[in-house]
Amino acid sequence: MDKLPKTATLLLLGLVCLIGLAGVGWVVRQNTRETSPAATTVGGSAGVRDAPATADLPSRTRGKRPHHGGNAPAASASDAVAALVGNSSLSDAEAADGLRRIVEDAGRPLPERLEALDHVFHLVPNDHPALLRELAGRRVLPDEVRMRLLSEALNRPLRLQGELLVLLLENAAGDARAEVLTQLKGLCDEDLGEDLAAWRAAVGKLPTGP
């Protein structure tokens, strides 16, 4: 058999080498696909990456709720409070309502009730203050809770301040009552004594803004 020309021999050898390299590359890519985390699937559907494992994260690391006032503690000492504040499936209104129940529960320790109240302040915006009004109007509350509500009222817009103060005045006694009256006098720039109707009328004249 005649020998192939030298040029043809070199071309043939080059072609064999290219085919070999292509085969090796294909094998390497297949092995990478089988072992790479990116190739894992969800629900058995090929090519779909694993969803982020947010369900395994501590609830309070999933995101912070918007805060509207007060000084809520960075970390909760109460499991019940932490469960509400850290539950991202609850709306702000739902979390605040659950916290309100803790505030009103006379069977719970006072520090836990005060902590829950601080979180309520963070979750209740000025344009939806019904829950603050409800708490301020409660007949049976510890003086410490009532005074904390008084302090928070002073951080709200003027009209809302006055409304909360009048609600507190209805049921406050002793030092708390004296402090509420002092704040009302300063807010309305007049002394209406113990006349609740007069205070309501005076508060109704206050501007709704800060």
Q: Which pLDDT band holds residue 77 (cuts at 50, 70, 90)?
A: confident
Residue 53 domain-assigned (yes or no): no
- Following CA atoms 117, 120, 126, 131 in sequence, which dihedral angle do they give, to the nearest 10 degrees? -80
Looking at the structure of the chain, the number of domains it has is 2
Residue 153 domain-assigned (yes or no): yes
Residue 162's domain comprises 141-210
Residue 210 domain-assigned (yes or no): yes
**pLDDT for position 74:** 53
Considering the domain architecture, whether residues 73 and 121 belong to the same structural domain is answered as yes
Which pLDDT tens digit goes with each residue over 166-196?
999 999 999 999 999 999 999 999 999 999 9
The domain boundary residue, chosen from 57, 90, 125: 125
**pLDDT for position 145:** 96
Which pLDDT tens digit goes with each residue over 51-64?
333 233 233 322 34
Residue 35 domain-assigned (yes or no): no
Residue 198 domain-assigned (yes or no): yes
